Amino acid sequence: MRGEDVTGDRLVSHDTASPATGAHIAGSFGSTGRGPRLLSGGGRRAAVVSTASTLVVLAALVAIFWLAPGSAAVRHTFFNPTDMWQSFIGDPKKGYYSVGAAIWLNIRMFLAAEVLILALALVIALVRLSTSPVMFPFRVLGMVYVDFFRGVPLLLVVFAIGLGVPALRLQFVSAQSAAVYGVAALVLSYSAYVSEVYRAGLNSVHQSQVAAARSLGLSHGKALRYVILPQAVRNIIPPLLNDFISLQKDTALVAVLGAIEANEAAQIYSATVFNFSSFTVAAILFLALTIPMARFTDRLIERDRRRRLAGAVR
C-alpha cells in the first residue's frame, strides 16, 4: 500500500507494508527494510551485482594509479611501508616523534573541546532565545559573538588566541600550553556554530508543548529542562555529530602553535627523512576516528527518518 503525507511545505511520498499481504515495498529514495540505506534493497542478486561493480571500480582505480608514469615515485614518497611504520612508532633519538602517540593529544583536545562547546553553545542559544527586556544587551552580545566567530576563519582564531593571550603576560592565563590555547580557540569558534544548531532545535519544539508543560504547573525552567530540551536534543543529535566530526579534524590546526599532535609529528618526520609517508599515517589515524562517527550519524539519521515516516502513517 502506498501513502502520501504532507510534511512542512513538501509532499513526502513513502511506501509501507501492506496490511493484507505483509509485503514490504521500497520506501523513499529506494530504502527498504531496516538495514542501512547504503546496503539495502534488491535481495541476493542485487548484492552480487553491487559487489561485482564495486570490485570492478576499485580494480580500475588501482590499475590507473599503478600504471601511471609517476606511480613508483608516488608510492615511494607517500606509501613507503618502512617510513609509514617508522613514523607511526617514532624515534626521538633520530629527531622525530611517534604519529601514533601524538594522535592521543588530538583525541584529548577533541574531548575537552566537545564538552565545553556543548555547555557554552547551549548558554548562548538560550540567551538569544530569551524574551526578557533585561536580557536585551546579552542577546545583542550573543548575536555579535555568533556573527563574529562564524565569519572569522578558525585558523586566524587559533593564531589570535595562541599568540595573543601569551603576549598579554597575565598571571596564570598567559602561561598555558599550546594545546590549552588551541582548545580555547576551537571552543570559541565551534560554539558559534553549535549554538545555532541548538537554537534551531529549540525552535523546532512546538509552542503547544511549552503551553502543556506550563498548564501542568511546571515552571519555565522545569519546562525547559524536562520538556523542551529533551525533544530539541533528539532533533539536533545528527547535525551535532557532523559538527564534531569536523571538530576532530580541526584539532590538527593546533599544530601551528607548536603542539606535537599527529599532524605536527608527521610534519617533523617528513622534514627529517624527506618522505611524506608520515602524512599518510596521520590521515589513516584521523579516518579511523571520524569514519565510525560518520556511520553512527548516518544510522541515527536513518532511524529518525523511519520514526517520522511511521508517525506519518499513523
3-state secondary structure 51-115: HHHHHHHHHHHHHHHHHCCCHHHHHHHHCCHHHHHHHHHCEHHHCECCHHHHHHHHHHHHHHHHH
Question: pLDDT-based confidence at 313, cuts 50/70/90?
Answer: low
Average confidence (pLDDT) over 181-202: 93
- By CB atoms closer than 10 A (0-12, 13-18, 19+), residue 188 is buried
Beta bridge partners of 127: none
Give every CB contact of residue 153 below 8 A, 6+ residues apart in sequence.
Answer: none
Q: What is the pLDDT of residue 161?
A: 95
Give the three cell numbers for residue 256: 601551528
Q: Name the fold adopted by 88-313.
A: MetI-like fold (1.10.3720)
Lowest mean pLDDT among 4-13, 137-146, 189-198, 302-311: 4-13
Average pLDDT over every residue of 110-121: 95
Let me know: does 284 contact 84? Beta carbons within 8 Å.
no
Quote the pLDDT of residue 56.
94
- Per-residue pLDDT averaged across 176-186, rounded? 95
How long is the chain? 314
Q: Which residues in 125-158 are b (16+ Cβ under 10 Å) and which e?
A: bbbbbeeeeebeeebeebeebbeebeeeebeebb
Q: In this predicted structure, what is the pLDDT of residue 37?
A: 53
Residue 236 has pLDDT above 90, yes or no: no
Of 114, 152, 106, nearest to 251 (Cα)? 106
What share of the chain has pLDDT > 90, as a percent? 53
pLDDT value for 314: 61
pLDDT band at residue 171 under the 50/70/90 scheme = confident
What pLDDT score was predicted for residue 207? 75
Q: Is the pLDDT of residue 21 over 50?
A: no
What pLDDT does 304 receive? 74
**Is residue 18 predicted with pLDDT exceeding 50?**
no
Measured distance CA(190)–CA(120) in Å, rounded? 10
State the Cα–Cα distance between residues 157 and 155, nearest whole angstrom.
5
For the CA atoms of 263, 267, 268, 273, the dihedral, rounded to the nearest 10 degrees, stands at 140
pLDDT band of residue 40 (cuts 50, 70, 90) is: low
pLDDT (mean) for 155-169: 94
* The model's pTM: 0.77
Greater confidence, 270 or 219? 270
DSSP code, position 224: I
Query: What's the confidence (pLDDT) of residue 311?
Result: 67
**In the structure grid, which three cell numbers stand for residue 140, read together?**
545583542
Give me the torsion for CA of 143, 145, 151, 156, rounded to 10°: 180
* Average pLDDT, rounded, for the chain: 83
Per the CB < 8 A criterion, the answer to whether 7 and 312 are in contact is yes
| Sign of the dihedral defined by the CA atoms of residues 204, 207, 209, 214, in that order | positive
Say if residue 265 is exposed, middle or buried (CB neighbours under 10 Å; 0-12, 13-18, 19+): buried
Domain with CATH 1.10.3720.10 in the chain: 88-313
Question: Cell triple for residue 90?
Answer: 617514532
